[in-house]
Amino acid sequence: MQNFTPSNPSILTLYFGEMTQAQYLYSVFTLIGFTAIVLTNGAVIILIVLHDTLHKPMYIFISLLCINSLYGCFAFFPRLFVNLISKTQTISYFGCITQVFCLHTYFGCELSLLTAMALDRYVCICNPFWYNHIMSLRTVCKMTVAAWLFAIIPVSVIVLLTIRLPLCGNIILKIYCDNWSVVRLSCIDTTINNIVGLFIMVGFLTLLPLFILYSYVEILKVCLKSSKVFQAKAWQTCAPHIISVINFMVIRLFEFLDNRLSLSNLSNSLKIIIIVQAFALQPILNPLIYGLKVKKIKIKMIQFLFHKKCDSEH
C-alpha cells in the first residue's frame, strides 16, 4: 500500500482528457459561448433596468437570474479558456477553492431564484387581487437577499470544512474545481465533509423543488377551473420558468449521481459535454426563453434592436 504525505499543493492539475487533442478548437467554442452568454444576459438586464414598465417582480427576478448567470459564467469560462490555450491544464489551490465557492453559490442561487419565481407566479395566478400587496418591492428585496443567503451560507460551511483538509494528491478529475473533487484528494477521514455535503445537496435538490412543485400544483388547480383564455395566458407566463427548472434539475441530478456513484459506464467526453452544458446551456437558455416567451421583454428587445415603437398592449 502506497504511503501518502499530507500536504497542501499550491498547484492542482485539471483533467481535460480528449479535449487536449483539439484544445484550440474548443477554446474558440468557449470564447463564442462566453461572448453569447454575456451579450444575451447583459441585453436582458439592460432592458429591464432602463424601462420602467418592466420594474415589476417577475421582470426583476428575470434580471436577477441573468445577473446570476453572468456570475457563474465569469467563474467558469475564463479559467476554462486559459487552460485550453495553455500547454498545461493547471489551477492554483486558492483559485480552485475560489472557483468551488463561486460555482456552488451560482447553482444554489439559481435554484433559490427559480423557487422565488415560482412563488411569484403562484401569488399572481392564485391570488391576483392581493398580488400587488403581497409582492411589493420590499418583499422582492427580502426574497432576493434570502435567495443569496440561502446559497452563500451552506456553501461557506462546506468550503470551510474543505480548506481544513490536508491534500495528498493534486489531480482534479474534471475540467473545473468542485467541492467533492477537492475533498477526494484528502488522505485523512472526510466523513464530516461527506455527511454535511450530502445533507446540503439533498436539501437543495428536494426541499426547493418540492416547493416549486407545490406552487405549480396549486396553479394547475386554478387553471383547470378557469377559461381557456386564462389557461393559455398562464401557460405563456409559466412555460419559460418550467423549462428553466427542468433543465437545471436534470443537470444537477446528473452531477450529484456522478459525484456520489461514479458513473464509470459513461465516457469522459460525454461527462464533459454534460458538465459544459450546465455552465453554457442554462445561462444562455434563460435570456432566450424569457426574451421570446415573455411578451413585454420581447417587445422591448425589438425596440432596442430595430428602434421600432411598439405598443406593448398589442
Phi-psi map region of 17: left, alpha, beta (phi>0 left; psi -120 to 50 alpha)? left
- pTM score, two decimals? 0.85
Domain parsing of the chain, residue ranges: 11-306
**Which one has a higher pLDDT value, 50 or 162?**
162
Element (H, E) at 278: helix 268-293
Q: What is the mean pLDDT of residues 281-294?
A: 75
pLDDT of residue 64 exceeding 90, the answer is yes
d(CA 123, CA 118): 9
Confidence of residue 310 (pLDDT cuts 50, 70, 90): very low
Q: Grid cell 436534470 — which residue?
A: 250
The predicted structure's pLDDT at residue 244: 81
Look at domain 11-306 and name its CATH class: mainly alpha
The predicted structure's pLDDT at residue 220: 85
Q: What is the mean pLDDT of the chain?
A: 82
**Which one has a higher pLDDT value, 185 or 285?**
185
Nine-digit cell string for 46: 439592460
The predicted structure's pLDDT at residue 1: 38
Q: What is the mean pLDDT of residues 87-98?
A: 90
- Collapse the DSSP code of 190 into the 3-class scheme (helix H, G, I; strand E, B; otherwise coil) and give the result: coil
Q: What is the mean pLDDT of residues 176-187?
A: 88
User: Which range among 4-18, 179-193, 224-238, 277-291 shows the weakest confidence by mean pLDDT?
Assistant: 4-18
Max mean pLDDT among 158-162, 193-197, 224-228, 295-299 falls in 158-162
The predicted structure's pLDDT at residue 100: 94
Nine-digit cell string for 256: 450529484
pLDDT of residue 160 exceeding 90, the answer is yes
Q: What is the mean pLDDT of residues 209-229?
A: 85
The predicted structure's pLDDT at residue 304: 61
The predicted structure's pLDDT at residue 188: 87
d(CA 273, CA 16): 11
**Which one has a higher pLDDT value, 265 or 79?**
79
d(CA 88, CA 251): 28
Q: What is the mean pLDDT of residues 113-138?
A: 89
Query: 104: closest CA among 171, 14, 209, 204?
Result: 204
User: Which range among 122-136, 198-212, 241-255, 261-275 shows the weakest confidence by mean pLDDT?
Assistant: 261-275
| Rg value, the chain, Cα | 21
Q: What is the mean pLDDT of residues 197-226?
A: 86
pLDDT in tens, 97-108: 999 999 999 999
pLDDT in tens, 1-18: 344 444 557 889 888 877
Number of Cβ atoms within 10 Å of the Cβ of 4 = 14
Element (H, E) at 13: strand 11-14
